[in-house]
Amino acid sequence: MVFQNKQALVIGGSIAGLLAAKVLTKYFEKVIIVERDHFPKQPEDRQGVPQAPHVHVLLKRGQQILEELFPGIDAELASLDAPSMDWGVACPWLGFSGWAPRFNSGLITRNYSRNLLEWTIRRRLATNNRVVFMEAGQVTSLLSNFDQTSVTGVRVRFRNQPETDIFADLVVDASGRNSQSPQFLERMGYLSPQQTVIKPFLGYASRWFQKPIDLKTDWRCVYVTVQPPNNSRGGAIYQIENNRWILVLIGMGRDYPPTNEVGFIEFARSLRSPILYETIKDAQPISPIYAYQRTENRLRHYDKLARLPEGFVILGDAVCAFNPVYGQGMTTAALGALTLDKCLSQKLYSNPDRNIIGLPQYFQKQLSKVIAVPWLMTTGEDLRWHTTEGKRPNFKTQLMQRYLEQVLLLQSESADIHKTFLEVMHMVKPPSEFFQPNIIGLMLKRLINHYKRSSAKPSNDFATEQKV
C-alpha cells in the first residue's frame, strides 16, 4: 500500500540510508535522501565515509537482504569483477588455537570494496522514480508541529545557500556514528537517549595492492585473528574487484598499527603467521596507508525513551555503531531496514485508519531486539581484553564467554565447529547453535582429555594450550 501524496525523508545516503530508502519506496510516493556529500560518479572515496578504504565484508545475512531488496544485484556485482568466496575453503583462518580446517562450507559471499557496493546500490536506487537525491545538504535540525509532538521535516544547509525547510511525513535518521539526533531531540524538549560505550582502543591500518597477474592463490582472503588476552595483533588480506587486495592490520588495546611504510611492514611481519607479510612484501602498493581508530562500540538506547515524537525514526550506526572488526555494521543496517519494513506494514494494517501513529517507539523497540545479538557478540569479545574500557560483563555473560572460548579452541580441530562459527558470525544462524549436542560432546571430550593430561603435567593456562 502506498500513501498517496506523502513523502519520507532520509538523512544520510550511505548504506543504512540507501537500504531504508528502498524500503520506504514501498509505502511513500516520494522518498528524499539528503546527503552532506556530493556523490562521486564512480566508485570512489567521499568525505562522509572515511572508513570506506578499509575492508568491508558484507556478511552472508546482509548479502541475502541486499538481494531481496535489489534482485539481481549479486550478478551485477559479479559482472563488475567482484569475486565470490567460500568461507570454508577460500579463507584460511588462523583462530585462537591454530589454522581452521579447510573444507567446502557452502557459505559463499561476494568480495568487493565498500565504494563499489555503495555505488552499485545507489545506482540501482536512482532508477526508482520515487527516489530523489539531494546532495551537498547538511541537515541542521528537525522541524516539528506547534506542540512538538511530531516531526514534520528537516532544515537543510545546502552549500553556499541559505537554509531550506523540507517537509516530510516520516523522517529517518541514517547519518551514522556522529548523528545529531540526541541534540535535535533535546532541542524539541525530549530527553536524549542513554548511551552504552565499550572502547576496545582498536586501530586499523590498511593499504591496497595490485595482485600480480600471474600469481595463482587458492584463497581470496586470509585472516589472522588477534588472541585474547595477550596477542593484540592481527590482520587480513582480502581480494576485491579488479584483482586487487586490501591488506588490513589491526591492533587491540592501543597497539595501533603504524602508517609509515617501514612500521606498517614490520607490524605485518610481527603477526603470528608470516603469510600476510610474505604475500605483500613484493606486491605493488596502489594506495597510501589509511588509518582508522574511532572503533568504540556505541549503543544509543532510543528504545528506552518514554517519549519520542511521531514521524521520526533512527537506524544504522546512528543507533548502534560497532567495533568494525567483526564486520557487523552493514548487515545490522540491512536488518534495520527490514525491521522498518515490517513495522511500517504492521502499523498500517493494525491502525484502524491506516496511519503510522506509534511507529517510532514500536520501531526502536523492535530494532533494539535485532541489535541485541551482534552487540552481545562484539562487546563480549572486546571485554575479554583488560585494556577495553566499559562496563564489565555480568556473571551470565562471563560464563558464556568461557563457554565460547572452549568452543573456539576446537575450531582448529573440527570442520563442523568452524562451520558453525562461520554461520553464527555471518548471522545466518543464532549463537544458540553453539549449544548443539555434537558441539557440547566435542567440548566435553576435549576438557576430559585436557584434564587427564594436566593431572599428569599441571597446566590450566588458556594461553599455554594454543598450537600456533
Ligand X SMILES: Cc1cc2nc3c(=O)[nH]c(=O)nc-3n(C[C@H](O)[C@H](O)[C@H](O)COP(=O)(O)OP(=O)(O)OC[C@H]3O[C@@H](n4cnc5c(N)ncnc54)[C@H](O)[C@@H]3O)c2cc1C
| Contact between 316 and ligand X per CB under 6 A | yes
Is residue 204 part of the contact set for ligand X (CB under 6 A)? yes
Taking the least distance from each CB to ligand X, the nearer of 16 and 299 is 16
Residue type present at position 34: V
Shortest reach from residue 319's CB to ligand X, in Å: 8
Rule CB under 6 A: say whether 329 interacts with ligand X: yes
Pick between residue 102 and residue 294 the one whose CB is nearest to ligand X.
294
Choose the binding region for ligand X from 55-63, 301-309, 384-392, 451-459 (rule: CB under 6 A): 55-63
410 and 442 Cβ atoms separated by less than 8 Å: yes
Question: Is residue 11 near ligand X by the rule CB under 6 A?
Answer: yes
Which listed residue (12, 182, 203, 257) binds ligand X by CB under 6 A? 12
| List 330, 367, 377, 439, residue binding ligand X (CB under 6 A) | 330
- Residue closer to ligand X by CB (options 226, 409) is 226
Spatial distance between the Cα atoms of 365 and 304, rounded to a whole number of angstroms: 8
Alpha helices in 38-154 (DSSP H): 60-69, 73-79, 114-126
Stretch that binds ligand X, among 81-89, 103-111, 169-177, 193-201 (CB under 6 A): 169-177
Grid coordinates of 107: 557459505
The CA distance from 87 to 106, in Å, is: 8
Task: For the CB of residue 317, give the shortest distance to ligand X in the complex, in Å.
Answer: 4
Task: Decide whether 58 or 168 has the Cβ nearer to ligand X.
Answer: 58
Stretch that binds ligand X, among 49-57, 123-131, 228-236, 456-464 (CB under 6 A): 49-57
Cβ neighbourhood burial of 456 (10 Å; 0-12, 13-18, 19+) = exposed
Residues 6+ apart with CB under 8 A from 298: 177, 195, 196, 197, 320, 321
* Burial 418-447, CB ≥16 within 10 A → b, else e: bbbbbbbbbbebebeebeeeebeebbeebe
Exactly one of 14, 231, 379, 411 binds ligand X (CB under 6 A); which one? 14
Contact between 176 and ligand X by CB under 6 A: the answer reads yes
Q: Does 34 bind ligand X (CB under 6 A)?
A: yes
Q: Using CB under 6 A, pick the residue from 3, 8, 35, 226 that binds ligand X.
A: 35
Among residues 331, 339, 379, 420, which is the contact residue for ligand X, using CB under 6 A?
331
Q: Tell me the window of 82-90, 222-230, 321-329, 385-393 that interacts with ligand X (CB under 6 A).
A: 321-329
Binding of ligand X by 323 (CB under 6 A): no
| Whether 442 contacts 436, CB under 8 Å | no
Residues 99 and 97: their CA atoms lie apart, in Å, by 7
Rule CB under 6 A: is residue 54 a binding residue for ligand X? yes
What is the number of alpha carbons within 13 Å of residue 358 lying toward its C-beta? 14
Q: Letter for the amino acid at 237?
A: I
Q: Residue 255 is placed in which grid cell?
A: 597497539
Distance from C-alpha of 421 to C-alpha of 427, rounded to nearest angstrom: 10
State yes or no: residue 153 binds ligand X (CB under 6 A): no
Amino acid at 407: V
DSSP 179-191: --HHHHHHHTTPP
Q: State which of residues 311, 324, 360, 374 lies at the interface with ligand X (CB under 6 A).
A: 324
* Residue 120 in the binding site for ligand X (CB under 6 A): no
What are the grid coordinates assigned to 370, written together?
535485532
The CA-based dihedral angle spanning residues 201, 274, 402, 296, taken in that order and rounded to the nearest 10 degrees: 20
Nearest-angstrom CA–CA distance, 156 and 13 = 14
> Are the beta carbons of 377 and 400 closer than 8 angstroms?
no
Using CB under 6 A as the binding rule, whether residue 414 contacts ligand X is answered as no
Take residue 68 and report the three cell numbers written for it: 531481496
Among 22, 30, 56, 61, binds ligand X (CB under 6 A): 56
| Cβ distance to ligand X smaller for residue 368 or 412 | 368
DSSP string, 267-289: HHHTSSSSHHHHHHTTSEE-S--
Number of residues written out for the chain: 468
Each residue 286-315 as x (binds ligand X by CB under 6 A) or -, in order, gives: ------x-----------------------
- Does residue 177 belong to the site contacting ligand X (CB under 6 A)? yes
175 binds ligand X (CB under 6 A): yes
The piece of 50-58, 87-95, 267-275, 445-453 that touches ligand X (CB under 6 A) is 50-58
Closer residue to ligand X in complex, CB, 137/439: 137
Candidates 9-17, 86-94, 298-306, 378-386: pick the segment binding ligand X (CB under 6 A): 9-17
| Residues at the site binding ligand X, with contacts judged by CB under 6 A | 11-17, 34-37, 48-49, 51, 54-58, 138-139, 174-177, 204, 292, 316-318, 324, 327-331, 333
